[in-house]
Amino acid sequence: MSAYVAGAANDAATGENSRPELPLTGERTVPGLAEENYWFRRHEVVYERLAGRCASRDVLEAGCGEGYGADLIADVARRVIGLDYDETAVAHVRARYPRVEMHHGNLAALPLADETVDVVVNFQVIEHLWDQGQFVRECARVLRPGGLLLMSTPNRITFSPGRDTPINPFHTRELNAAELTELLTDNGFALESMLGVFHGPRLLELDARHGGSLIDAQIARALADAPWPAELLADVASVRTEDFDLLDAAERDIDDSLDLVAIAVRT
């Protein structure tokens, strides 16, 4: 959940953190906003670390939002198709990221022919969907044999601890690692690997500086609907993708991760 969207914006941000062109709604994260920077970098790191799996391939990003990730993938892919249900986002991506072949459509019925792409990217989207199984089956349909589905989602265990109903009002169903694995393997995929996003050493230092949790500090400020403390805003704005670790089960307990990252192969 974006801590920024729950409260008023601080208009003092300048430079690279000036207000973005696409409005922040809470359903997506956007670049270029100091108060949102932690969440943006936490999403961006997965694109950076998995972009190599898209090299020289035809890629669909299903639910591409603002489009920064699809454009990052376009650095290495042969072709990038973007798809989103939000017409404002579609127009924004077409104007800002010309390398992305942008389409408007519903993820429950992907507007692509069978076996059209080599990779489907779906980051921080599945938790928003009502019929998650239908979407995963659609991914299997449009992928060529042996194609990859790259998916990330908040880890329910740490994102909405002890709750049946997601904290984020835009989420319909959040998943833990076992549930995400079952969703994929029941709908046309074999799991290649399950990874987790964790705070690296610098973020652990920032956690300690802000009462044990940088995330909780941001949410508390948002719920208070008060100006950002200068130290908190500076620390949030300083976060970079290298401050996060992307680890597998041999390195860390995936149930302790912030976000889950699945790499699955069409069977």
- What are the tens digits of pLDDT across the range 20-30? 476 655 556 78
Nearest to 87 by CA among 69, 68, 102, 70: 102
On whether residue 26 sits in a domain, the answer given is no
Q: Which of 207, 251, 252 is nearest to 232 (CA)?
A: 207
What per-residue confidence (pLDDT) applies to 30? 86
Domain assignment present for 151: yes
- Of 83-97, 192-206, 216-230, the poorest mean pLDDT is in 216-230
* Residue 126, domain CATH: 3.40.50.150
pLDDT tens per residue across span 233-243: 999 999 999 99
What confidence score (pLDDT) does residue 217 get?
Answer: 94
Average pLDDT in the 180-192 region?
A: 98
Averaged pLDDT for residues 120-136: 94
Q: Name the band, by pLDDT with cuts 50, 70 and 90, for residue 173.
A: confident
How many structural domains are present in the chain?
1
On whether residue 202 sits in a domain, the answer given is no
Asked if residues 117 and 138 have their Cβ atoms less than 8 Å apart, the reply is no
79-84 vs 58-62, strand pairing mode: parallel
**CB environment 46-66: b (16+ within 10 A), e (fewer):** bbebbbebbeebbbbbbbbbb
pLDDT of 81:
98
Rounded to two decimals, the pTM is 0.89
Task: Tell me the pLDDT band of 157, cut-offs 50, 70 and 90.
Answer: confident
Name the residue range of residue 90's domain. Answer: 54-197+249-266
Cα atoms found within 13 Å of the Cα of residue 243, Cβ hemisphere only:
21
Do the domain assignments include residue 233? Answer: no
Q: Residues near 109 by Cβ (< 8 Å), separated by ≥ 6?
A: 138
In a domain, 58, yes or no: yes
Residue 24 lies in a domain: no
Q: What percent of the chain has pLDDT over 70?
A: 84
Which pLDDT belongs to residue 6?
37
Is 33 within the bounds of a domain? no
pLDDT at 18 exceeding the cut of 50? no
With cut-offs at 50, 70 and 90, classify the pLDDT of residue 12: very low
Would the pLDDT of 160 be above 70? no
Confidence band of 1 (pLDDT split at 50, 70, 90): very low
Residue 139 located in a structural domain: yes
